[in-house]
């Protein structure tokens, strides 16, 4: 099996992890708890904040897993953020 196909499988697994994380937060009542902290007219904003706060650790784990999988499979390329921060370091 080629490295590209393996990378697609790894990405699919990582995406499934994100979906499971989201539903885990929902099952735990995290979103309900966060929206209850907000006034009634701002509960939609509270839900968006809850999704942002709740999913941030999952996206961090996803990014580290993706980088690890690419390193293991010798997938090469250029990351946008690497070029952006590289220029900042040289200044």
Per-residue pLDDT of the chain (91 residues; tens, 9 = 90+): 788 888 889 999 999 999 999 999 999 999 999 999 999 999 999 999 999 999 999 999 999 999 899 889 887 777 666 677 766 555 5
CA distance 70 to 3: 9
Report in angstroms the alpha-carbon separations of 76 from 1, 3, 17, 34, 64.
Answer: 17, 11, 23, 40, 15
CA distance 59 to 67: 12
pTM: predicted TM-score of the whole model, two decimal places: 0.76
């Amino acid at each position: 099996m080629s490295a590209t196909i393996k990378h697609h499988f790894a990405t699919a697994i990582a995406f499934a992890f994100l979906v499971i994380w989201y539903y885990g937060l929902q099952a735990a009542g995290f979103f309900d708890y966060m929206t209850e902290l907000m006034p009634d007219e701002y509960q939609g904003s509270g839900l968006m904040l809850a999704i942002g706060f709740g999913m941030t650790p999952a996206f961090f784990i996803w990014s580290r897993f993706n980088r690890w999988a690419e390193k293991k499979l010798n997938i090469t390329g250029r990351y946008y953020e690497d070029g952006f921060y590289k220029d900042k370091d040289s200044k």
